[in-house]
Structure 1
Amino acid sequence: MATRATSLDGTGGRPLTGRTVLLCFIGFFGVVFTANFFLIRAAVTSFGGVETESSYQAGLVFRQESEAAAAQDSLGWKVEAHVAPGRLDVAARDADGRALSGVTLAAALHHPTDRRLDVTLDPERVGAGQWRASDAVMAGQWELVLEFSRDGERLFRSTNRVIVR
């Protein structure tokens, strides 16, 4: 009389051997490791975020920025900006309401998540206390950075989140 092997569930199928379990185990972890490899590779090659080279230097810069912000607040300047696709308009007045004069404006649009997409604008004076930049301002969410300086010394810096539609 011939004996017939039975599987674990009691049906007369193929027996579950150590070799089968080993192959299933290796196959499962092979799929997991392969998926992890491709996901990690995609994450590392596509990272465009900001990295801090030195925490100490970042702390010193923060202190300098805090002092500059206090000096800026004492000026009482009022700066208004309007951003639209392809255009930036800026108007600036001092504490007494007079148009700013003798200052240079630098403007940039920083992408919130990918610094590779940052755009430096080239504003031109169009009137007393008024500037316009007609650069490639693309639709999306940006951080508008405006800096006013006189003789190379920064007097005012503003960073605001804007949405260009």
Structure 2
Amino acid sequence: MDTDLAASGRPPRPLTGRRVAVYLGAFFALVIGVNGIMMKLAVDTLPGTVVDSAYRASLAYNGEIAAAQAQAARAWRVAAHVERGADSRASVRIEARDGADLPVSGLVVSARLARPTDRRDDRPVRLAERDIGIYRGEAADVPPGQWDLVIEAERGGDRVYLSRNRVVLP
């Protein structure tokens, strides 16, 4: 006695061309659906590019080299200290001194705590000159981990200082 016939009381369905087409269609629909979901997740979690336009960055390259040489010729010493509090606020203190060890005042200094892996997590730091040559500011909601402290200083609309330093915040 046939076990399939005995268990269900009816004969098994034959494998037809229509049934094979439905199985193949369902298989490929599942594969395409999973690939679509994976592509969407990959694009949504992509941190982005470091440079929006490589062509424009290459055109500005010689200007960046000249700015770095001018910065080195100024012989400024810029010391930065970053401290993260228990309330997840990070305080930044920057002290700028010139080649004669005098405080550098009157700069428009901006800073940014940048994640090395994902620029969507960057935190701007609002800095103000609190004392002659000393600039302080805070950033809110800074989780622990590795950050790049990016400091830019301008005078008269021209960038006169740029640095990028890796810091680890507990």
- TM-score, normalized by length of structure 2? 0.74
Whole-Å separation in 2 of the counterparts to 1:106 and 1:84: 17
User: SS of 2:105's equivalent?
Assistant: coil
How large is the Cα RMSD of the aligned pairs? 2.7
User: SS of 1:105's equivalent?
Assistant: strand
The CA deviation at 1:48 is 3.5
The CA deviation at 1:148 is 1.5
The CA deviation at 1:163 is 1.9
The answer to whether the 8 A contact 2:123-2:142 is kept is no
- Superposed, 1:1-165 pairs within 5 Å as 26=25, 28-50=27-49, 52-85=51-84, 86=89, 87-136=91-140, 138-139=142-143, 140-165=145-170
The answer to whether the 8 A contact 1:145-1:160 is kept is yes
User: SS of 1:123's equivalent?
Assistant: strand
User: SS of 1:43's equivalent?
Assistant: helix
The answer to whether the 8 A contact 2:76-2:96 is kept is yes
Whole-Å separation in 2 of the counterparts to 1:104 and 1:55: 28
Please name the residue that 1:8 is paired with: none
Whole-Å separation in 1 of the counterparts to 2:15 and 2:82: 69
Q: How many residues align?
A: 154
Q: 1:132 to 1:59 in 2, by over 3 A?
A: same
User: SS of 1:120's equivalent?
Assistant: strand
Unaligned stretches of 5+ in structure 1?
A: 5-13
Amino acid in structure 2 at the alignment position of 1:126: R
User: SS of 1:122's equivalent?
Assistant: strand
Q: 1:107 to 1:54 in 2, by over 3 A?
A: closer
Percent of aligned positions with the same letter in both sequences?
34
- TM-score, normalized by length of structure 1? 0.76
Whole-Å separation in 1 of the counterparts to 2:54 and 2:96: 35
Unaligned stretches of 5+ in structure 2?
A: 3-11
Amino acid in structure 1 at the alignment position of 2:33: T
The CA deviation at 1:28 is 4.6
